[in-house]
Chain A
């Protein structure tokens, strides 16, 4: 493999939903390169196309123009090199935690060249992931017996099971409470360092995007596009919760939040609100 070549290479990607007068440009001329081992976060207001872009890289969404290359090959369909973690409802409730994590091993894509040693390696791998994710006491339970945070641990373990080159995460912690989220943040950082995975992580939470990402991509709506890219001034490894209070972190957060407000057109809404409250107090 060419060392200089990015692992994921989006060139002029465009996606238009619908046609004619009701057509919506979900992605306009998106250029984005992600290198091997990078933890990239994409943040933006709703409707900015961040999920659409992630799903296009995952092969779950087609695009209208441009090109998405993964390791030099054009993306046409989902593949085992790109695992995806969804916000929820992706686990199989009829299977136990262990069976969910080993699900991929029951598919022909993974059993074509099966040998006894590869089976053993897979069993070892799933056991290791269960321990790594702190799922040992829940290994034989069913998903609906678990809390939301535990369910997402299972989803991450399942995605990591077949050692994907890229881990695509679509607001995976969006439905969790704040405390569980913090725990999950440290867990995913730890795991991605350990696995040396390339991660593309979509979120609407700016703090989450900064805390997790080496780079933060800010997308803007109408039309969905990349607005700006920020390098995160935090150490690449060994991040901890205290860093959320550091001046660099807070400065970047203010900068990105301000930019989101500008691009999402929320400025005018705030002005209107202020005008209304002035009116109300005057009368």
Chain B
């Protein structure tokens, strides 16, 4: 017993898979049980705290009577489009910032400056410049993710060990070859992680993006539910966004494991 306790409280210790999943189960179940108890037996009105069953039923009605799948589809499209557009520009830009000091000096302070500006505050400007169609929602998500992404990509590139680059130089590699065959190849796992993390951030900007004259989407549904005091629908929308995010995150992790098997092979020589 004491031994088992000690194992749980070892700094950077290891855990068996069964203990791990048992703890993970507890971590997920306890809040759910607390929520149920609080909603059903507490003295809190359902307007403030609907129970898990209410939320599940609401989700069913949303799917059967309203356009849940359409809402999921359009929101996913907006998030992925804004994130992909941002990746398309941030990857090459970050690569150059992390590789050349001159580009870093030119662009990094500016990026650092802009990334502290709140994306929400850009909504009036985006409406003024781009309008209120689909592009404006994508633009808000782009503004929310792009500047962070550039800096993270630059940092990933800078973390490529200098010895790897210098070894290539002494083997006669040209500048282009060093960028393609060493820097990019070496930073790839970190870059995929950055794409995964920024995808999560892109989802957090969804509700903000759908403040802009939207009439569909999960974020829009949450905002509308607030107007009608449909607390269970707000819960359903938030939980749904969390679940979609979790699924995408897991897909990225799976891709990571499949694309870089050499990262997970340790000393079995």
Contacts and interface: CB of A to CB of B under 8 A. Distances in A.
Interface of A: 58-60, 77-80, 82-84, 86-94, 103-104, 106-110, 138, 141-142, 144-147, 150, 155, 158-159, 162, 168
A166 B181 CA distance: 24
B172 A104 contact: yes
Contact of B172 (A80, A138, A142, A159): A80
A59 B173 CA distance: 13
A110 B269 CA distance: 32
B173 A94 contact: no
B124 interface: no
B171 A92 contact: no
B260 A78 contact: no
A107 B163 contact: no
Contacts of B171: 80, 83, 103-104, 107, 109, 158, 162
Contacts of B267: 144-147
Given A77-B169, A94-B188, A107-B174, 18 more contacts: A87-B163, A90-B161, A92-B164, A93-B186, A103-B168, A107-B172, A107-B177, A108-B177, A109-B174, A142-B265, A144-B266, A145-B265, A145-B266, A146-B269, A147-B269, A155-B167, A162-B172, A168-B170
Contacts of A109: 171-174
A198 to B, nearest CB: 15
A80 B172 CA distance: 5
Nearest to B174: A108
Interface residues of B, number: 26
B130 interface: no
Contacts of A92: 164, 182, 185-186
B268 interface: yes
B170 A89 contact: no
The 7 closest A-B pairs by CB, nearest first: A109-B172, A90-B163, A80-B172, A89-B161, A78-B169, A142-B262, A104-B171
Find the residue from B167, B172, B266 having the highest chain A CB count within 10 A: B167
Interface of B: 161, 163-164, 166-174, 177, 181-182, 185-186, 188, 260, 262-263, 265-269
B159 to A, nearest CB: 11
A80 B170 CA distance: 6
A94 B166 contact: no
Nearest to B265: A145
A94 B185 contact: yes
A55 to B, nearest CB: 8
Contacts of B170: 58-60, 78-80, 82-84, 159, 168
B177 A84 contact: no
B265 A86 contact: no
B177 to A, nearest CB: 6
A90 B177 contact: no
Nearest to A109: B172
Find the residue from B166, B171, B177, B182 having the highest chain A CB count within 10 A: B171
Given A86-B163, A162-B171, A93 B269 contact: no
A111 to B, nearest CB: 10
Nearest to A84: B170
A145 B262 CA distance: 9
A141 B262 CA distance: 9
Contacts of B266: 144-145
Contacts of A144: 262-263, 265-267
B242 to A, nearest CB: 34
A84 B208 CA distance: 53
Contacts of B260: 94
A165 to B, nearest CB: 12
A107 B166 contact: no
Given A94-B260, A109-B172, A89 B269 contact: no
